[in-house]
Amino acid sequence: MNKNVVRAYEAGVTILGSYLAVNSFLSSSLYHTIASGLGQLLRLFGIMTISSSQVSLVIPAVVTLIVALVIVYDYIMGKPEDIIDIYQINLLLLTPEVLSHSGLNWMNLIKKSQILVPTRNPSYVFFSGTVMLLGYLSLYFISRSREDLESLKQRGV
């Protein structure tokens, strides 16, 4: 198979999985809690230089920028241990939305009130998680196949 086609597939799967993860995090109730808490904290200390509505616009840009930089780094490196980095971030971003559909009040374990409430359909959350896990598995398989091919070439097989 053409090497460029495989690299394009890798980039497409990584971008799709990361888009779904960032979208899930920004739609979760935890994000809204963090954004409003950050706005209140800035107002409390009097260091508010932008309005609280702009704080909620800055956080998505920062999260998206961090994920985009990790994607670019992982795409350039193309090693299994680098591919794991982006999917750890993606699964971390998906976790609040998955936990919001749980019947367990997991925040009560640290004596906090329930801050996670479902904001989206469970089917969409399941689809997002499935796409991310299948993307991780396929990219890991491709990366391992690439390593095995290089190993065979070095041994002259």
Percent of residues in the chain assigned helix, strand, coil, to nearest 5? 80, 0, 20
Q: What is the 3-state secondary structure (H, E, C) of 59-80?
A: HHHHHHHHHHHHHHHHHHHCCH
DSSP 8-state secondary structure symbol assigned to residue 109: G
Name, in order, each residue with C-beta under 8 angstroms of 5's C-beta and a sequence gap of 6 or more: none
User: Which pLDDT does position 111 carry in this prediction?
Assistant: 65
At residue 47, the pLDDT reads: 66
CA distances from 132 to 12, 39, 44, 59, 126 (A): 12, 31, 39, 22, 10
Where are the chain's structural domains? 3-154
Q: Would you give per-residue pLDDT tens digits along the chain (157 residues)?
A: 687 888 888 888 888 988 898 888 888 887 877 777 777 777 777 765 666 556 667 778 888 888 888 877 877 776 666 777 788 888 888 888 888 777 776 666 666 666 677 778 889 889 999 999 998 898 888 888 888 888 898 998 7
**Whole-model pTM above 0.85?**
no
